[in-house]
Amino acid sequence: MTKETRSALLTLLESLTSLPRSVRRWLVFGFDGLLCLVAAWIALALRLGEWPNSLHAVLILTATTLAFWTVIAWPAGVYRNLIRFSGARASGRLFYACALLTVPLAVIFGFIQISGVPRTIAILHPIIFFLLMLFLRLSMRFVVSDYLHLARGKTEERRRLLIYGAGRGGQQLANSLRQEPHLALVGYIDDDERLSNQQLDGVTVWHSSILDRILEERRVDEVVLAIPSALRVRRREIVTTLQARKIHVRMLPGIGQLIDGHFAVNDIRDVQVEDLLGRDAVAPNELLMGRSLLAKNVLVTGAGGSIGSELCRQIIRSRPKRLILVEQSEYFLYAIESELRQMALAEGCEVDLIPELTDVADRDSVFRIFRRWQPETVYHAAAYKHVPLVESNPIAGMRNNIFSTLHCALAAEAVGVRRFILVSTDKAVRPTNIMGASKRVCELILQARAQEQDKTLFTMVRFGNVLGSSGSVVPLFKKQIAAGGPVTITHRDVTRYFMTIPEASQLVIQAGGMAEGGEVFVLDMGQPVLIRDLAETMVRLSGLSVRDAATPEGDIEIVEVGLRPGEKLYEELLIGDNPAPTVHSRIMQAREEVHPWKTLSIILDNLQEFLSQGNTEESLSILRIVVPEYKNSIH
C-alpha cells in the first residue's frame, strides 16, 4: 500500500470515528441492512441449490427480516456498543437478537406461503445474517482498530499496559484501550486459577502467581487495578509488589461508574493512600442510620468542616425533614450548602436546608438558633482541632471547644432535643495538649448533663485521625511531595490510627442511634500506622523513590523535625479498660468516671471568667483540675 493510499485511508477512518455517536449507530445499522440483503441471497442459494432467479423473493425476505430486526435489535441493545468496541457481551446480544428473529420469521413463512421463499429459510437466514454481522464487527475491531494504532503509533512509543483483574471492569477497560494509540494491552492478570491461560476477546489471562515473570517477559510499563471488589489488604499487597519493581500503578474509577459503564481511559486515576490505608467498608445498619434522622429536624455544628460536611452528606441520604447547617466560616458554609442542594436534587430528596452563619461559642446565638428551628437531633462537630495552633492560642481553643459544647448542650435541653451527639477525639484520652484536654472537658459536660435529666440523650463518639481531613498529615505530605520534598515527619516512631471520613461519619450516626444517655462510644480504628511508613508509601504512589542512606539517588527525602508541642508518639482511645461491645462490630462503649454537674458547673463558671479576662495561666490551672490526667509534656 502506497504512502498516499495509507494516508487517505487513515483520514477516512479518523473522519468516521469522529462522527457523533448517533450518526455512527445509523451507519452500522445501514451496513447491517446491506448484510441482510447479502444473507438473503446466500440463504436462498444454499436452500435451493442455485442462485435465486426471482429478485422478488430476495426483496420480500430482506424487507420482512429488516422490519422485525428493527423492532428486536434496538431494544436488545445490539447498537448500544459500536462495532470497534464490541466484545463477548456485544456478540452475545447479537446472537440473542438473531435467535429472537427466527420466531416471527417462522410464523410468517411457516403459515403464509410466499412464492420462492421456503419455510426453512426462517432458520437459515438469521444464522447467516448473524455470521455476517459478527464478521463485520470483528473485522472492524481487530483490523481497523489495529491499523489505526499502528498508523498513529509510529510517531510515539506505546506504553505496555497490563490489567490486573479480568472481570467486568477489566474487560470494559480493555475495550476502551483499543482506541488509545499510545497504549498497548499485553494481557490480564487475575487471582482466579480457573481463568489461567484463557482468552478474553483474544487477550490472554495469566494467574497472579506468575506476575513477576509476566512483568519481565512482556516488558510491562504500567498496571491498572481493575478489582473494585478486592479487599484493601489485597490491594495493598499488589501495589507494594509492583512498587518494588518500579511499575507505575493506576486504578479504575469507582464501582458505580463501572456498573453504569460510564468511564473512559482518561478516567483511570492514580492509586491514593486512602485506597490502601482505609479499611474495607462494612454495610451500615440502616435502622441505626435512620433512627435519629428520617423525617426529623437535624442540626449539625461545624457543618463545613471535614467531619461535619460528610455528616451532612450522610444525613441527606437518610432523608431528614430539615437540615440546619451551623458554621462560622462564610466560605465553608456556602460550599457545603451548594453541594447539598445539588445532591438533594440529584437524589430526589425533599429536605429543607437552613444555613446559619454563627459562632457556636456565643451563647445568645446558639439559643436563638435552637429556639427558632427546634431540632430533634444535633451533631456537634464544631471545634478547633489543630494541636499546635490551639497550643499557641489556648484562650481561643478553650473558649471555642468547651463553651460551644456547653451552650449547645444547654440549648438542646431547653428546646427538647431528643439526641445530642458530640464528635470527640482520641486526643481526649490522657491528653498532652490543650486541644485534647478541652475535648475531654466537653465529654465531661455531656456526661454530667446526662445524669441530671433524661429528656435529651447525650452521647459522645471518640475516634482518631481521618484520612484527608484538614488536620491530617496526608494533604501536607501531598504538597511536600509535589514541591519536590523533603517530606517532614515529627518522629520516626510516631503512630496514628486512620479511618476514612465516610466510614467515621457513618459510625458516628449509627452510634448516635444506639444512644441511651451518657455513653462514650469508641470507634474501632483498626491497626495504628507508622507515620514514616505512610510517608514512604505516598512517595512511591507518586511514582518517586525515597532518598536515604541506602538509596542516595532517590527523589524525595524524609526528614525528622521533632515532636511538636503537646504531641504524643501514639494515641489512645480508652481511659479505662475493658470496653463493652455494642450491637455494631466497630463501635465499643467505654466505661469511665463521671463528674457531678453541681461541682463541674462551678468550675466552668470560674473558667469562663478567666477566659474572658484573657488570663491564660489561671485558665490552664482550672483545665488541669477538671482533667487531672492532662500533662502538658511530650512523651
Q: Is 538 exposed, middle or buried (0-12, 13-18, 19+ CB in 10 A)?
A: buried
Strand 269-270, strand 248-251: pairing: antiparallel
User: At a CB cut-off of 8 Å and minimum separation 6, what does 10 contact?
Assistant: 147, 148, 151
Fill in the amino acid letter for 124.
L
Q: Is residue 424 part of a domain?
A: yes
Over the stretch 550-593, which tens digit does the pLDDT of each residue have? Answer: 788 888 888 888 877 666 666 665 555 566 677 676 777 777 77
**Which residue blocks in 379-419 are alpha helix, DSSP H?**
387-392, 394-398, 404-415
Same domain? For 543 and 489 the reply is yes
- 462: in domain: yes
Is 588 within a domain?
yes
Based on its alpha-carbon atoms, the radius of gyration of the chain, rounded to whole angstroms, reads 33
What is the per-residue pLDDT for 341?
Answer: 93
pLDDT of res. 633: 47
Q: Does residue 378 surpass a pLDDT of 60? A: yes
Residue 88: name the closest of 31, 26, 149, 134 by CA: 134
pLDDT band at 44 (very low <50, low <70, confident <90, very high): confident
Q: Which residues have a catalytic role annotated?
A: 427
Four-residue CA torsion sign, 450, 452, 455, 456: negative
**CA 224 to mean position of chain CA atoms:** 17
Q: Is 616 left (phi over 0), alpha (psi -120 to 50) or beta?
A: alpha
- Of the three residues 88, 121, 151, the one that is the final residue of a domain is 151
**583 is a domain residue:** yes
Residue 467 falls in which region: left (phi positive, over 0), alpha (psi -120 to 50) or beta:
beta
Q: What is the mean pLDDT of residues 214-237?
A: 82
* Per-residue model confidence (pLDDT) at position 503: 81
Residue 509 lies in a domain: yes
The least confident of 89-93, 209-213, 421-425, 436-440 is 89-93
Cβ distance 117 to 124 under 8 Å? no
Peptide linkage before 75 cis (omega within 30 of 0): no
Number of domain units in the chain: 3
Question: Structural domain of residue 182, as residue ranges?
Answer: 156-271
Among 8-22, 337-351, 600-614, the least confident range? 8-22
What does the pLDDT average to over 114-132?
A: 81
Q: pLDDT: is 3 or 231 the higher one?
A: 231
Question: Do 441 and 561 reside in the same domain of the chain?
Answer: yes
More confident residue, 626 or 114: 626
Give me the pLDDT at residue 135, please.
Answer: 81
Query: Does one domain contain both 86 and 169?
Result: no
- Which has the higher per-residue pLDDT, 369 or 476? 369
Residue ending a domain, choose from 151, 186, 211: 151
- Judgement on whether residues 141 and 160 belong to the same structural domain of the protein: no
Pairing of strands 529-530, 495-496: antiparallel
Is 280 domain-assigned?
Answer: no
Decide if pLDDT at 120 tops 70. yes
Q: Which domain-ending residue is among 226, 247, 271? A: 271
Q: Are residues 382 and 518 in the same domain?
A: yes
Q: Which amino acid is at 612?
A: S
Indicate whether 229 and 358 sit together in one domain. no
Residues 348 and 410 in one domain: yes
In sequence order, the β-bridge partners of residue 300 are: 325, 379
**pLDDT of 380:** 95
If asked whether residues 236 and 93 sit together in one domain, one would say no
> Is residue 223 domain-shared with residue 311, that is, in the same domain?
no
- What was the pLDDT predicted at 600? 92
* pTM above threshold 0.75: no
In a domain, 98, yes or no: yes
Residues 96 and 208 in one domain: no
Say if residue 138's pLDDT is above 50: yes
pLDDT reported for residue 154: 47
What is the structure's pLDDT at 634?
41
In the predicted model, what is the mean pLDDT of the chain? 80
Residue 311 has, within 13 A of its CA and on its CB side, a CA count of 32
Percent residues over pLDDT 90 in the chain = 25
Higher pLDDT, 141 or 138: 138
Residues 7, 127, single domain; the answer is yes
pLDDT at 126 over 80: yes
pLDDT in tens, 446-499: 999 998 888 999 998 888 777 666 556 777 888 888 888 888 888 888 877 677
Mark whether 144 and 163 lie in a shared domain. no
State residue 156's pLDDT score. 47
Q: Is residue 51 part of a domain?
A: yes
**In CATH, what number is assigned to the domain containing residue 264?**
3.40.50.720
